[in-house]
């Protein structure tokens, strides 16, 4: 059974966004300030469970439309790269 991680998009208070990654089993939380940090955190935290994870997405109510679009674009790029690697 996959372990559930929550990815919560937040405003960072500096005019940008961050993603709070939460492991629902250990209650460990990591703040990721960009997609590279998020990618690294998912990989490291997922290793604890044999990479069998399920990710659900949330966002704080105050996250701007612009920041949501930026995250969506960055995650889309990451997903394409991940899919391409999986096909090799």
pLDDT (tens, 9 = 90+) of the chain, 88 residues, equals 789 999 999 999 999 999 999 999 999 999 999 999 999 999 999 998 886 889 999 999 999 999 999 999 998 987 887 677 666 6
What pLDDT is recorded for position 80?
82
DSSP letters, the chain, are -PEEEEEEEEE-SSSSEEEEEEETTT--EEEESSHHHHHHHHHHHHHTTTT-EEEEEEE-TT--HHHHHHHHHHHHHHHHHHHHHHH-
Q: How many domains does the chain have?
A: 1
What pLDDT is recorded for position 79?
80
52: containing domain:
3-87
pTM of the model: 0.86
């Amino acid at each position: 059974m996959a372990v559930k991680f929550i990815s919560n998009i937040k405003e960072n208070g500096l005019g940008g966004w961050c993603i709070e990654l939460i492991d629902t089993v250990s209650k460990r939380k990591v703040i990721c300030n960009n997609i590279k940090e998020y990618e690294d955190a998912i990989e490291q935290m997922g290793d604890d469970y044999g990479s069998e994870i399920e990710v659900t997405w949330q966002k704080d109510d105050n996250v701007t439309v612009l920041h949501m679009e930026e995250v969506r674009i960055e995650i889309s790029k990451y997903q394409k790269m991940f899919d391409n690697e999986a096909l090799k």
